[in-house]
Amino acid sequence: MKGLSELKCNQPKKTPSHPKKSHVVKACRDGKEKMVRFGEQGAKTVPGKPKNGKERKKKKSFHARHDCANAKDGLSARYWACKEKW
């Protein structure tokens, strides 16, 4: 994996070789930089628009469980999981 300085700001990358986390992002906001790892490795998610009722229910449960409506801090793993994974 590249170092923090080599990643572009606010552009998530997949990390297939990481044992636990599926993505990493260099979160930049108000002059601050932070490396954020997020997402469960191997989790079944449906990025984009869910196609059937089962996928919609999974997305709704994920958003409720992680309180995605209030995930506004761009330096948190919760924000990036809500934005990228679902």
Structure tokens belonging to residue 72: 């506004």
Distance of CA 8 to the CA centre of its chain: 15
- Alpha-carbon span 75 to 16, nearest angstrom: 22
Distance of CA 57 to the CA centre of its chain: 19
Question: Mean per-residue pLDDT for 32-56?
Answer: 82
The predicted model scores a pTM of 0.80
Determine the pLDDT at residue 40. Answer: 87
pLDDT of 33 higher than 70: yes
- Alpha-carbon span 1 to 55, nearest angstrom: 32
Determine the pLDDT at residue 20. Answer: 92
pLDDT of 69 higher than 60: yes
- 8-state DSSP, 82: I
Over the stretch 5-24, which tens digit does the pLDDT of each residue have?
788 999 999 989 999 999 99
Determine the pLDDT at residue 2. Answer: 59
Give yes or no for a contact between 85 and 73, defined as CB atoms under 8 angstroms apart.
no
